[in-house]
Amino acid sequence: NIVLDVDSISEKDMPIAKSNELILSQIHLTYKIPYQDLSPYFQVQNITTVYPQKRIDILTSIVEDSDFSRNFIRGLKLAYSPDLEDSGNRLGVALEILVKKILSQEEISYTPMTTLGSLLQLLRKNIEIFKDDRQKFVVTNKSRIKSSHHKDDRFTKEDATILADTIIYIAETYFL
């Protein structure tokens, strides 16, 4: 049995998402227990994100799209769970929805099957406030690709953070 004193890590000293991540990692490394086997003992789906709830609420209200909100929130929660690749898929879908919504509002045409990389390029080339974001969008697209099409390059929490940060950046830059 593994006993943890849950009061030993203060939320003020370390956000709960980070402390839960550290606990899961240490149990995994020390006892060689697969993450999937740990999930019944930890409420992984309820781990909070590093983004304040108020900021997430504002973001989802300004984008005004239920598919975006559902995928974005679920992707953030999964980023701190063993279902990391599903986080990348969800955040990638949220990003695609967001970019398509902006392109539609600006009356910039694209085909329904356009890839995320092409959508980001259209956004950068056609909307002035995103002109200097080439490198940011290239890195974001690479992170998105790793969540679905990885071979040797695994999707990481850092990739999830890149996707989430880009979603927040695009939404706040465009809508606020």
How does pLDDT run along the chain (176 residues), one tens digit per residue?
A: 454 444 444 455 545 555 555 666 666 566 666 655 655 444 443 444 578 888 888 999 999 999 999 999 999 988 877 778 899 999 999 999 999 999 999 999 999 889 999 999 999 999 999 999 999 999 999 989 888 766 666 888 888 989 999 999 999 999 98
Which bin fits 34, alpha (ψ -120 to 50), beta or left (φ > 0)? beta
**Alpha carbons 65 and 93: distance in angstroms, whole number:** 12
Cβ pair 88, 147 in contact under 8 A: yes
